[in-house]
A and B are shown apart, each in its own frame.
Chain A
Amino acid sequence: MSFLKRLFSKQEKETLDHGLEKSKSHVFSKLAKVFTGRRVVDEELMDELEEAFITADVGVETTMRLLSRLRKRARFEAYMEMDELYGMMREEMAALFHEDNRSTEAYAIPKHAEGPHVILVVGVNGVGKTTSIGKLAQRFKEQGHSVLLGAADTFRAAAIDQLKVWAERVGVPLVAQGMGADPASVAFDTLQSAVARKSDVVIIDTAGRLHNKRGLMEELAKVRRVMDKVVPGSPHEVWLVLDGSTGQNAVEQAKQFLATTDVTGLIVTKLDGTAKGGVVLAISLQFSIPVRYIGVGEKAEHLQDFILDEFLDSLLPERLIEGLDSTDSES
């Protein structure tokens, strides 16, 4: 079954990738016009690039920085091969990212001498924390790890039921208390249970919270402290989930969650939509923090490793630079 399933999900991934390209062709095709053949590097070109970056949510500051780097490197007011220019642009963008993202190795669950590997998942409301946890559980289970989930969102209506559905769907155990229970206490129970069961990986779901709500942020800090008491050194990872369609506010989210919970990685969701997630560039510029996964749909298999080249292609597509005809629907 597992082989068939893999085959299926691979096929599905291909159709998905295809779908992704289709949805993104809109901006791609605009850039295609920017990056074909030879042309003078001039203000007009800079304006076109600016628009492409801004509409991808890269943000003004990061866009200006990228363009000013390009101005330094490119031969201004002279003819240039556009693929050479594109190469420069790609290098500048890639340089913003955490070194983990510039290597091609996928995230692997480390083995600890004692106790489970513990991942705490945080983020603002509705970004896809619970869904991503379902997907992660599936992935880690497929990799042969024993997984335990902790339902520490005791606030949102039916949040526990939602995680339960995922636990059943994927076939992993879950620790929960009632609605309104203290999240720190749920985390405590979950870790104790994980130690007793000798689980390899624990993933803790938390309630969505806006980063400007001090009380709720402090609650997270408390959850962290309690976890460290049961499994010293835990949580080993704190993953911040960002909605890929969020604009510049995501930078503020990263900043505040980093400050209270020492975020160690990002998951960017909903990239199956038309949004580009360009704000990740702005975040990478300011904070040194790797992107671990991207979410590309609502099913368990719709989680992908973050592959920098592919992500950058979705902002500035190489394929089209190589002269492939654009399927320009809008001009």
Chain B
Amino acid sequence: MFDNLQEKFDRAFQILKGHGSITEVNVGDTLKEVRKALLDADVDYKTAKEFTQRVKEEALGREVLTSLKPGQLLVKITHEELTKLMGEAAADFRVQGKPAVILLAGLQGAGKTTHAGKLAKLIEDQFKKKVLLVACDVHRPAAVDQLKVVGESVGVDVYAEPGVLDAPGIAERGLAHAKSSGHQAVIIDTAGRLAIDEDMMREIDLVKAVAKPTETLFVVDSMTGQDAVRTAATFNERLDFDGVILTKLDGDTRGGAALSIHSVVGKPIKFVGVGEKMDALEVFHPNRMAERILGMGDVVSLVERAQQVIDEKEAARLESKIRKNKFDLEDFLQQIQQLKKMGNLKDLMSMIPGMSKALKGIDIDDNTFKQVECIIQSMTPEERANPGIINPARKQRIARGSGKDIQDINRLLKQFEDMRKMMHTMTNGAGGKRSRAAGLSALRR
């Protein structure tokens, strides 16, 4: 999703790498590129300006204290600042109260109703609480039907009063129903509304006053442009929400809204939506997002997504191999074969550190992979496990076997080696141990 931004950063830091030390001038050039990249990613204009200013100050200030190369230093500082901008640690999500009441609000079409369903599923599965969905969208055609279908698909009860136009009243009665029927969590779906629509904003004020939510979440489309910040700020002034759900991140948007909303509004992004299905909900990790923006890839997300097709044991084995720098060509081949089943290959591949650059301009389809598969399949098991032994004679045999040129073999081996190095550095880097299990149990506190 951050492909383009990654490229820009790569290019920006390329400029700097040519210089021996950080000077006002070369930082200036690089940061101009950085700022452009941020704006292209829809980061709020002011946020981008302040951000680059801050990175510059940091960079010039730290120059004498470090032995890092200027490019590395700037990457490090930019990464740190970017992470800070998005809210540092993953925020937690509590389902407390008797019942816990979650109110969803946002612009039209952001994904509220869909995410009401996803949250209901999460709460039932992870928190083991019985959920009631309450249909307070009295405006959109067939909104109630939609929530009913969603509720049914996740096996959760829905409270609705079709035809009734009084949203606060429905909220009140829905809540009473939850209490009397033993539901431990209530999720209130509301109509989409513009921040400047005074009547509609008053309506949601009333819903909030009646429902006294334990958690109010602002749902926002990750493709939103410069308006994201202003809209989020207005909703926040009215509702003082607790967190944000950033939706549709399965697209290829660079998602600058994620960068600016937290810094301007001061509220954490708690979840990201990554698809239309009810399990396409993930915890937001600012650190990962920052890594991803900087082209550092996102090993953990890759492993998580791979879990959808690879079983947990296999994923853990892969992660540990990456950590020990033992990830080999056989693993790579298997991954490719798994990835092929998952669709949306480019997006997935771009999560492998270093790949987004390697893949630039290549239209990833089965053919791209066929070539790689073909080459690896022409190797012996020893060669796959230990590419170091592949000498010129072996290369020639592999080339003959796969019907490719020696250059193709060399390119693959080099790309693989670079990739492996970066994967290793990343997993053992500053991020520390992170796994899906840890992420979700953090939620349960």
A residues adjacent to B (C-beta < 8 A):
22-23, 51, 54-57, 59-61, 124-128, 134, 155-158, 161-162, 164-166, 169, 210-215, 243, 245-250, 252, 270, 272-276, 278-279, 298
For A22, the closest partner residue in chain B by CB is B196
Which residues of chain A are within 8 angstroms of B257 by Cβ–Cβ distance? 247
Q: Can you pick out 17 interface pairs between chain A and chain B where the beta carbons lie within 8 Å of each other?
A: A55-B45, A126-B109, A126-B110, A134-B141, A157-B146, A157-B150, A245-B107, A245-B225, A245-B227, A246-B223, A248-B40, A248-B41, A248-B225, A274-B194, A275-B224, A276-B227, A298-B139
Asked if B221 is at the interface of the complex by the 8 Å CB criterion, the answer is: yes
Tell whether, in the assembled complex, residue A215 and residue B142 are in contact, meaning their CB atoms are under 8 Å apart: no
User: Roughly how many angstroms separate A250 CA and B252 CA in the complex, as a whole number?
Assistant: 10
Tell whether, in the assembled complex, residue A51 and residue B252 are in contact, meaning their CB atoms are under 8 Å apart: no
Contact among A125, A247, A273 for B256, CB-based, below 8 A? A247
A137 to chain B, nearest CB (A): 13
A215/B343 contact (C-beta < 8 A), A249-B42, A274-B230 known: yes
Asked if B231 is at the interface of the complex by the 8 Å CB criterion, the answer is: yes
User: Roughly how many angstroms separate A134 CA and B140 CA in the complex, as a whole number?
Assistant: 12
Asked if B248 is at the interface of the complex by the 8 Å CB criterion, the answer is: yes
Tell whether, in the assembled complex, residue B142 and residue A164 are in contact, meaning their CB atoms are under 8 Å apart: yes
B278 to chain A, nearest CB (A): 10
Chain B residues 170 to 196 lying within 8 A of chain A, measured CB to CB, are 194-196
Asked if B276 is at the interface of the complex by the 8 Å CB criterion, the answer is: yes
For B146, the closest partner residue in chain A by CB is A158
User: Roughly how many angstroms separate A157 CA and B111 CA in the complex, as a whole number?
Assistant: 12
Which residues of chain A are within 8 angstroms of B250 by Cβ–Cβ distance? 210, 212-213
User: Roughly how many angstroms separate A276 CA and B343 CA in the complex, as a whole number?
Assistant: 34
Asked if B36 is at the interface of the complex by the 8 Å CB criterion, the answer is: yes
User: Roughly how many angstroms separate A258 CA and B153 CA in the complex, as a whole number?
Assistant: 34
Contact among B113, B196, B347 for A23, CB-based, below 8 A? B196
B225 to chain A, nearest CB (A): 3
A297 to chain B, nearest CB (A): 9
B74 to chain A, nearest CB (A): 20
A57/B226 contact (C-beta < 8 A), A126-B109, A158-B142, A161-B145 known: yes
User: Roughly how many angstroms separate A40 CA and B149 CA in the complex, as a whole number?
Assistant: 61
User: Roughly how many angstroms separate A124 CA and B222 CA in the complex, as a whole number?
Assistant: 12
Contact among A54, A124, A126 for B226, CB-based, below 8 A? A54
User: Roughly how many angstroms separate A267 CA and B248 CA in the complex, as a whole number?
Assistant: 21
Tell whether, in the assembled complex, residue B196 and residue A298 are in contact, meaning their CB atoms are under 8 Å apart: no
For A252, the closest partner residue in chain B by CB is B252
Interface residues as binary, B22-65 with A (CB distance below 8 Å gives 1, 0 otherwise): 00000000000000100111100100000000000000000000
Asked if B344 is at the interface of the complex by the 8 Å CB criterion, the answer is: yes
Tell whether, in the assembled complex, residue B224 and residue A127 are in contact, meaning their CB atoms are under 8 Å apart: no
A272/B194 contact (C-beta < 8 A), A126-B111, A210-B248 known: yes
A298/B251 contact (C-beta < 8 A), A126-B221, A274-B230 known: no
Chain B residues 241 to 255 lying within 8 A of chain A, measured CB to CB, are 248, 250-254
